[in-house]
């Protein structure tokens, strides 16, 4: 069996073991179209031959901007990488100014786009793109070259020996991709990851996910331009898992029912929304059904792995699983046996409830700069502990600096930031990558993240505040959709809150309260303010006096990626949120602030 040292080795490895008929599956015109392992490789080679005929040389940067995950993305990925060029994936939802910055910074010569909207944004800055020779689209768009032209150009196999020669010359330590982090502040940074960085991470983290080789089915919907989902896709390929690509987040629920996946990856915000939907349905029940629903939830919230709660608890849990949780599972396709979560901290209550429902969420931790996995929970060998991000994976070393910062060393640590020696030197010191996260390792080797180093702040009384911890707790309220804790240098912590407008409308309807129709009217309504104050007061009880949210202001806008509040992985852009709501900040702390 060939050893895997470069990213494009994964499909060839899969072919040797299992030529699966549904290696990559994308819906086209309402039909799931399957691409086998052999077709995947053949098409990738066709792309490689076409790129050579277009005089693409080693280290040429080729950008891919796709609004959805799809078979074409993966074919392009292998086709580009095996000739020693680099795939530069770009978030579709960032601004056209960021498109311009990234495409010029990496000197991309070609760009592949998924659809008209991405092309529209790209065309707004096209005249400023110095190095770009041509744009190709996956969808058929009038007036834009189509990627099928490359499939035509690469049909003739005469130059396949040249492709083979290029493949043989690609080394494990060569640059494979540049991933621009969406940075919560300033210009995006280009993280350089080698084949070895990502391959080692795939192989070292893959034992943590339970797979039935060549029978597991995955649904992929998190952005593939992010290293988290991309590594998950390589892991699927390593285990010969059939990968179905969801059409969009809007159609996720339908796609789950059609595909009936055994595994998918999630981000906390998505899981929160799934749970809120289930909970809302439960509140609509009546009588014994309603009682049973909330009895099951109470049981779920007490869940501990490995039958730690004893016989009586397990007995009740089995009943709850049969009567209630089985319906949840059915709603998520019926076959789901594991979810993998990354990108931000997940509320422990959600981990408990989904594990109780036999759909455990294995929370992991990592950064783009670490390819990304540093640690991840795993059910086998007692490797699952709620409230932690699991044990550190093989061949990776973690130590905690004197100020609590998590430092990481291993084959997964990036080559550096593209064209930025200063930031590289700052992040990589004495062989360790400085994560910027604060954490601790318990006596059994489980890693726990407590906050972002850069996001912690001190009140004027000298007390440290860890905002993420407070925000995660507050978001347990169904009234609170988004929240940002503020108060650096002030006498007390406060917050900007975006209420859950949909939930507030439901609540108002049930209680026959007039709260207005526009978001502006809703946030100004005294009853709404009073009700959210109750939620904040209740959740404040979990914190020390100096950490309690003393004041808040509600915001009328829905915080989103498009409007700049959130990064593409749904983290808060704190600096931008602060700028947007400066008048509210002054209202909270007085005009002189």
Contact 242, 20 (CB under 8 A): yes
Q: What is the dihedral of CA 72, 248, 220, 136, to 10 degrees?
A: 20
CA distance 259 to 540: 42
| pLDDT at 49 (0 to 100) | 98
Q: What is the pLDDT of residues 547-561, one digit of tens each?
A: 999 999 999 999 998
Q: What is the pLDDT of residues 66-84, one digit of tens each?
A: 999 999 999 999 999 999 9
CA distance 488 to 472: 19
Domains of the chain: 9-170 (3.40.50.12780), 267-341+353-358 (no CATH), 457-589 (3.30.300.30)
Nearest to 504 by CA among 483, 478, 470, 486: 478
| pLDDT at 298 (0 to 100) | 96
* Percentage of the chain exceeding pLDDT 90: 82
Q: What is the largest CA-CA distance in the chain?
A: 75
Q: What is the pLDDT of residues 180-227, one digit of tens each?
A: 986 555 688 999 999 999 999 999 999 998 888 888 999 999 999 999
Buried b (16+ CB within 10 A) or exposed e, 10-42: bbbbbbeeebbebbbbbbeeeeeebbebebbbe
Contact 551, 494 (CB under 8 A): yes
Mean pLDDT for the stretch of residues 325-331:
96
- Tell me how many degrees the CA angle 299-444-464 measures, rounded to the nearest 5: 80
- List C-alpha distances in Å: 558 to 164, 364, 521, 529, 554: 51, 28, 14, 17, 11
Alpha helices by DSSP H, listed for 147-194, are 148-153, 160-169
| pLDDT at 186 (0 to 100) | 67
CA distance 94 to 124: 13
Helix axes 116-125, 96-105, angle to 10 degrees: 70
| pLDDT at 350 (0 to 100) | 92
Whether residue 593 has pLDDT greater than 70: no
CA distance 209 to 341: 11
Contact 229, 38 (CB under 8 A): no
| pLDDT at 37 (0 to 100) | 98
CA distance 333 to 354: 14
CA distance 459 to 180: 33
Q: What is the pLDDT of residues 232-266, one digit of tens each?
A: 999 999 999 999 999 998 899 999 999 999 999 99
């Amino acid at each position: 069996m060939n050893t895997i040292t470069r990213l494009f080795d994964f499909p060839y490895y899969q072919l040797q073991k299992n030529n699966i008929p549904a290696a990559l599956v994308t819906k086209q015109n309402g039909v799931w179209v399957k691409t086998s392992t052999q077709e995947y490789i053949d098409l990738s080679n066709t792309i490689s031959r076409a790129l050579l005929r277009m005089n693409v040389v080693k280290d040429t940067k080729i950008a891919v901007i796709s609004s959805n995950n799809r078979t074409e993305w993966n074919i392009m990925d292998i086709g580009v990488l095996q000739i020693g060029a680099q795939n530069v994936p770009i978030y579709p939802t960032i601004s056209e100014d960021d498109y311009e910055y990234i495409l010029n910074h990496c000197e991309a010569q070609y760009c592949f786009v998924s659809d008209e909207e991405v092309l529209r944004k790209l065309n707004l800055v096209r005249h400023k793109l110095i190095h770009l020779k041509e744009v190709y689209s996956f969808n058929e768009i009038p007036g834009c070259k189509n990627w099928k032209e490359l499939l035509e150009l690469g049909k003739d196999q005469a130059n396949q020996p040249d492709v083979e020669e290029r493949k043989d010359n690609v080394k494990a330590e060569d640059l494979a991709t540049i991933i621009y982090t969406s940075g919560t502040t300033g210009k995006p940074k280009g993280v350089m990851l080698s084949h070895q960085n990502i391959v080692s991470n795939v192989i070292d983290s893959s034992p943590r996910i339970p797979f039935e080789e060549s029978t597991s089915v995955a649904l992929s919907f998190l952005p593939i331009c992010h290293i988290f989902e991309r590594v998950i896709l390589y892991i699927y390929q390593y285990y010969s898992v059939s990968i179905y690509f969801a059409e969009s987040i809007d159609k996720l629920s339908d796609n789950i029912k059609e595909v009936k996946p055994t595994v998918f990856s999630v981000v906390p915000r998505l899981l929160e929304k799934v749970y809120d939907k289930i909970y809302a349905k439960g509140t609509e029940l009546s009588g014994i059904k309603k009682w049973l629903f909330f009895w099951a939830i109470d049981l779920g919230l007490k869940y501990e792995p490995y039958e730690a709660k004893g016989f009586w608890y397990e007995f009740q849990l089995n009943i709850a699983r049969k009567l209630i949780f089985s319906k949840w599972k059915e709603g998520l396709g019926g076959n789901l046996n594991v979810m993998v979560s990354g990108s931000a901290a997940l509320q422990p209550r959600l981990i408990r409830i989904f594990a109780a429902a036999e759909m455990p969420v294995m929370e992991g931790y990592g950064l783009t700069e670490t390819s990304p996995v540093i640690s991840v929970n795993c059910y086998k060998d007692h490797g699952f502990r709620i409230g932690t991000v699991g044990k550190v994976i093989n061949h990776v070393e973690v130590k905690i600096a004197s100020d609590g910062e998590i430092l990481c060393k291993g084959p997964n640590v990036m080559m550096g930031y593209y064209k930025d020696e200063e930031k590289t030197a700052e992040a990589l010191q004495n062989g360790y990558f400085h994560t910027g996260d604060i954490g601790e390792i318990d006596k059994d080797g489980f890693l726990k993240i407590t906050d972002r180093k850069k996001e912690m702040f001190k009140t004027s009384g000298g007390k440290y505040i860890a905002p993420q911890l407070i925000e995660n707790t507050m978001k347990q309220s169904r009234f609170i959709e988004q929240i940002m804790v503020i108060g650096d240098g002030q006498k007390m912590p406060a917050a900007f809150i975006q209420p859950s407008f949909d939930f507030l409308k439901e609540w108002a309807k049930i209680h026959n309260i007039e709260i207005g129709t526009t978001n502006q009217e809703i946030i100004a309504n005294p009853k709404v303010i009073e009700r959210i104050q109750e939620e904040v007061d209740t959740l404040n009880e979990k914190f020390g006096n100096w950490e309690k949210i003393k004041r808040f202001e509600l915001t009328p806008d829905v915080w989103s990626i498009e409007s700049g509040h959130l990064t593409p992985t749904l983290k808060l852009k704190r600096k931008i949120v602060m700028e947007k709501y400066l008048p509210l900040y002054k209202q909270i702390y007085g005009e002189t602030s």
